[in-house]
Amino acid sequence: MVSTQGERFATMTRPAEYLRGQLISAVRGFALSFLCIVASTVLFCFSVVSIALVPLGVGVLTTPLVLAAVRAHADRRRLLAGRWTDIRIARTYRPLPADGRGGIAGHVERCLLLLKDPATWRDLRWLPVDMTAGYLVALLPAVLVLYPVEGAVLAAGLWRVFTEDPNWYGFVPVDSQASALAALALGLVILAVGLRYNSTLLRGHFALAKALLDRPLEAELSERIDRLTETRHDAVDTSAAELRRIERDLHDGAQARLVAMGMHLSTIEALIEKDPAQAKQLISMARQNSAEALTELRDLVRGIHPPVLAERGLPDAVRALALRLPVPVQVDVDLPEGAVRAEAPVESAAYFAVSELLTNAVKHAQADAIWVDMSYAAGALRVSVGDNGRGEAAVGGGSGLSGIERRLGTFDGVLAVSSPAGGPTMVTMEIPCALS
């Protein structure tokens, strides 16, 4: 009996939730229409004027500011698309230098980089469409809900006010009570259409924005191929450099000690009967060389693939890293239960990236608190490393972050850095992978 009542209540509430969603879509569309007709129009006019003034020199100063406002406007639309619908509009701007040159040369460089970015021209192409077609599609849900109110008012007797000329409601001339009731019927039909398609119209507005703001599929595939080609070369170069490092470490470290130990043993064979005391001293030195060679080999193996990473996985390996640091490190892991291991190359890349970020936070950022968050969602391993240091970390210029970005690029991963002056710094890595 209880379940039957619950089913009836759910059946009764579903239409109410549906109608509420359609009315909310009308309100949201009405708010969007103001953004379209005001913000898009103003920014488009400013952009055209500013770019036209670039040859005169004035536009070099104003264009970066105007285009920054355009990007913020487009980002706001991307945010609303993701928040109000299931449409995701990618942000495909090329990165700008974090610390460009100052003065006129810096303004010229930044202006040229912005104008060379294809995403900039996609934004400028979107603005006139947004203030026309986008405006109409956004306003239509509100019109479909509000316009029937006029039909109801006319049917209530307002038609009598228009004595000389009939008042047109849509295609219905209202000059009598019968025609007013016809207007009411038309209004109810319009309202029914609005309550049926308002959410679809709102999605249509964002789908139009996505079609103009997202990069074409061909360009995305071409960029992806270029990125994979670049990361493949980086991976080959990194592997060759790592092999040379291992050979150098073996030659200068463990191999030299093993050779010295062999020479000591040969000398011991000659002195064991003639000078036992000297032989004992050489045996002690050979034992010391053997222990030091073993230590160096263990360090070398740990540098290639740490045993704790191979045996216990990435979360425990990161915790072990945190314990060795002189600064308190908080490690939070949120991985699916029963699925905590990624592929070995992915784990290794993430481990060494985290290791380098933690080392940078201690040595260069002058941080006294560090935190590491590890999670898995949407088919990607996400690791964030933050600190309360002095900030101003940036990718580029041969920095360690550039090396991390290249290492992650091998796995089609991405790196995002937020590091304002004075901190805090937050470096986030995402690596597509499957956990098993």
Domain boundaries, the chain: 2-213, 219-304, 312-432
pLDDT (average), residues 310-337: 83
How far is 82 from 12, CA to CA, in rounded Å? 29
Q: How far is CA 370 from CA 264, 358, 426, in A?
A: 48, 8, 10
Question: What stretches of 272-398 show up as alpha helix (H) in DSSP?
Answer: 276-304, 307-312, 314-323, 344-363
| Residue 78 CA to its chain's centroid (Å) | 13
Q: Which amino acid is at 113?
A: L
- What is the pLDDT, as a whole number, of residue 302? 55
96-100, 188-192, 358-362, range with the lowest pLDDT: 96-100
| Residue 31 CA to its chain's centroid (Å) | 27
For residue 131, name the pLDDT band (cuts at 50, 70, 90). very high
How far is 37 from 24, CA to CA, in rounded Å? 20
Is residue 8 over pLDDT 50?
A: no
Is residue 196 over pLDDT 70?
A: yes
At the topology level, CATH places domain 312-432 in Heat Shock Protein 90 (3.30.565)
Q: Which amino acid is at 75?
A: D
The string of pLDDT tens digits covering residues 349-385 is 888 888 888 888 888 777 788 888 888 877 888 888 8
- What is the pLDDT, as a whole number, of residue 244? 66
Angle at 255 between CA 251 and CA 261, to 5 degrees: 150
- What is the pLDDT, as a whole number, of residue 339? 59
Is residue 48 over pLDDT 90?
A: yes
pLDDT, mean over the chain: 77
- What is the pLDDT, as a whole number, of residue 228? 66
Same fold, 219-304 and 312-432: no
Across-strand partners of 377? 380
Closest CA relative to residue 371, chosen from 392, 354, 391, 356: 354
- 366 three-class SS: coil
- The answer to whether 70 touches 123, Cβ cutoff 8 Å, is yes
Is residue 23 over pLDDT 50?
A: yes
Is residue 187 over pLDDT 60?
A: yes
For residue 1, name the pLDDT band (cuts at 50, 70, 90). very low
Burial class (CB in 10 A: 0-12, 13-18, 19+), 284: exposed
Burial class (CB in 10 A: 0-12, 13-18, 19+), 158: middle
Closest CA relative to residue 67, chosen from 112, 106, 102, 35: 112
Angle at 331 between CA 326 and CA 336, to 5 degrees: 155
Q: How far is CA 15 from CA 19, 28, 270, 360, 404, in A?
A: 6, 20, 99, 56, 52
- What is the pLDDT, as a whole number, of residue 11? 41
How far is 78 from 88, CA to CA, in rounded Å? 7
Of these ranges, 70-79, 81-90, 178-187, the one predicted with the greatest mean pLDDT is 70-79
Would the pTM count as exceeding 0.75? Answer: no
Torsion angle, alpha carbons of 32, 201, 27, 185, to 10: 140
From start to end of 69-141, where are the E strands?
A: none
Q: Which of the listed CATH numbers 1.10.1200, 1.20.5, 3.30.70, 1.10.10 matches domain 219-304?
A: 1.20.5
The string of pLDDT tens digits covering residues 162-181 is 656 667 767 777 767 777 77
Quick one: tokens of 287?
Answer: 């034992």
